[in-house]
């Protein structure tokens, strides 16, 4: 049973829907009972389903906008980018240090786990763009290596 209050052309109506079966509704308007036939069958409103789109990793999703370097790509100067969002915990190198492939550069905390970010290129650390405690997003440039 549902109760509604309407105001139509200044007149107040109290409408109670007693029963609704397929295309027939039993209602009371200001205490007077009516049987109402609906032109279109009513349907029970259902909670909508949430449909999520297919997740596509944002790293290297397009060759023209690569966020991390490919292991087969030529090594040398370039940038070290964050593979996932997190917080910088420790820096293991400083500006001017020479780094080699797979040398640990920094520790990144993401989802309560510590992740070691290694160098994917050989070179000299030219710039460090974040300090310990800074929050980073996926694809942020962490270091520049020349």
What the chain holds in terms of domains, given with CATH numbers, is 2-37 (no CATH), 73-145 (2.40.50.100)
Q: What is the rounded CA–CA span in Å between residue 80 and residue 83?
A: 9
Q: Average pLDDT in the 12-21 region? A: 88
Q: From 58, 55, 111, 64, select the one nearest 81 (Cα to Cα).
A: 58
DSSP E strand boundaries for the chain: 2-8, 11-21, 24-29, 32-37, 78-81, 86-91, 98-99, 104-110, 113-118, 123-128, 135-136, 141-145
Q: What is the pLDDT of residues 84-119, one digit of tens each?
A: 899 999 999 999 999 988 899 999 998 889 999 998
Question: Could you tell me what percent of the chain has a pLDDT over 90?
Answer: 36
Give the range among 51-55, 84-88, 132-136 with minimum mean pLDDT. 51-55
Q: What pLDDT sits at residue 78?
A: 82
Taking residue 130's Cβ as centre, other Cβ atoms within 10 Å add up to 18
Give the Cα separation of 134 and 138 in Å (integer).
13
């Amino acid at each position: 049973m549902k109760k509604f209050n309407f105001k139509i052309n200044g007149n107040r109506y109290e409408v109670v829907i007693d029963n609704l079966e397929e295309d027939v509704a039993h209602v009371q308007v200001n205490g007077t009972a009516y049987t109402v036939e609906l032109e279109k069958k009513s349907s029970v409103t259902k909670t909508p389903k949430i449909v999520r789109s297919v997740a596509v990793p944002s790293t290297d999703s397009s060759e023209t906008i690569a966020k991390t370097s490919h292991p087969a790509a030529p090594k040398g100067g370039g940038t070290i980018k964050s593979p996932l969002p997190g917080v910088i915990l420790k820096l293991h190198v400083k500006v001017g240090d020479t780094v080699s492939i797979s040398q640990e550069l920094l520790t990144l905390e993401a989802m309560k786990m510590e992740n070691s970010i290694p160098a994917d290129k050989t070179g000299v650390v030219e710039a460090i763009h974040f300090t310990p405690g800074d929050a980073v997003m996926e694809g942020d440039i962490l270091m520049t290596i020349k």
